[in-house]
Amino acid sequence: MLRDSFGRVATDLRVSLTDKCNLRCTYCMPPEGLDWLPNAQLLTAEEIVRLVTIGVERLGVTEVRYTGGEPLLRRELVDIVGRTTALTPRPQVSLTTNGIGLARLAEPLAAAGLDRVNVSLDTLDAATFKRLAHRDRHADVIAGLAAADGAGLRPVKVNAVLMRGVNDHEAAPLLRWCVEQGYELRFIEQMPLDAQHGWSREGMVTADEILGLLSGSFDLTPDDLEERGSAPAERFLIDGGPARVGVIGSVTRPFCGACDRVRLTADGQVRNCLFATEESDLKTPMRAGASDEELAERWLAAVARKRAGHGIDDPSFLQPSRPMSAIGG
């Protein structure tokens, strides 16, 4: 088991399939994009499946989430998902995506066994989308969401980041729309993970503020608080339910004590925390001929070193050198 020195066990593996993205969301990267990893440094599909297999078969991983960058840009995605869902014990397999291309890929992904998707959508307004993501692709995301629902990748979850003065006025309309469509919306506090290092505490729309913005339009009551476990979202019943909304207060309401996540970057580095400043290289030893057992040992050691918390509130906090798109969100 991937146990750290505080007794937490990592069972939820987030795998970044690429650092590239076809959007340029302000809270993530600059409009001109980033220096992408050279192809030779990216794990091949074979290498990804090998490491995921070690995680599932030897290290107790029960959930695999493919992300990025934008995972739909990875041509072998359907094959990777199919090989992951064929593992024993069968992990839960999900995808975090911006939804562009999902209209075409939702059915093949469902056929490969994908269980569900999280689609990022921060606004209902195409012009705001273009301003926020620097690409005119709002309609593609909406179509992708509908296709995911149609393909049975449910519950379809929607991730939204609110930015002050950009889309924070849309909290209630976005939630109403998601409820109407049957999607479960989760608001995520903006985290200091943008490549431009432009995050500020004052600029962040906090979980408290988000709940305040919603309370004028909805009656929210805490749901399943005792069953929250390691889930990052605090969930609320909307107007008595059954529809729900989640609020992920990563910064102001950290959940590090219950964290069960571990990450694998697209270039084969284990990260024991989104905010880790150290990584453990699995790619180099793998390419040098390391056995599955040796790779598992390295992975165990990487998780054992996990810190108690992300430390954003600590004066010595340092933003990780890699941005969210390179870590895998």
Helix (H, G, I), strand (E, B) or coil at 95: strand
Nearer to ligand SAM, 56 or 193 (CB): 193
Q: Which is nearer to ligand SAM, 190 or 265 (CB)?
A: 190
Min dist. Cβ of residue 325 to ligand SAM (A): 5
Q: Which is nearer to ligand SAM, 4 or 120 (CB)?
A: 120
Measured from the CB atom, the residue of 4 and 189 that comes closer to ligand SAM is 189
Q: Phi and psi at residue 186, in whole multiples of 5°?
A: -130, 120
Q: Compute the least distance from the CB of residue 25 to ligand SAM, in Å.
A: 6
DSSP label at 232?
S
Q: How far is CA 311 from the centre of its chain?
A: 20
Tell me the closest approach of the beta carbon of residue 67 to ligand SAM, in angstroms. Answer: 5
Task: Give the H or E element holding residue 66.
Answer: strand 63-67
CB of 100 to ligand SAM, least distance (A): 9
Residue nearer to ligand SAM on the CB measure, 16 or 286: 16
Phi-psi map region of 103: left, alpha, beta (phi>0 left; psi -120 to 50 alpha): alpha
Q: Which is nearer to ligand SAM, 167 or 325 (CB)?
A: 325
Backbone angles phi, psi at 95, to 5 degrees: -140, 135
252's tokens: 């102001």
Q: Which residue is nearest to ligand SAM (CB)?
A: 329
- List residues near ligand SAM by CB under 6 A: 21, 27-28, 67-68, 70, 96-98, 120, 159, 161, 188, 190-191, 193-194, 324-325, 329
- The CB-of-304 to ligand SAM minimum distance in angstroms stands at 26
> Which contiguous run of DSSP H or E holds residue 235?
strand 234-238
For residue 13, the tally of other CB atoms under 10 A from its CB is 27
| Per-residue buried b or exposed e for 15-44, using 16+ beta carbons within 10 Å of the residue's own CB | bbbbbbbbbbbbbbbeeeebebbeeeebbe
Q: Which two tokens stand for residue 218?
A: 């909805």
For residue 67, the surrounding DSSP H or E stretch is strand 63-67
**In whole angstroms, how close is the CB of 260 to ligand SAM at the nearest point?**
18
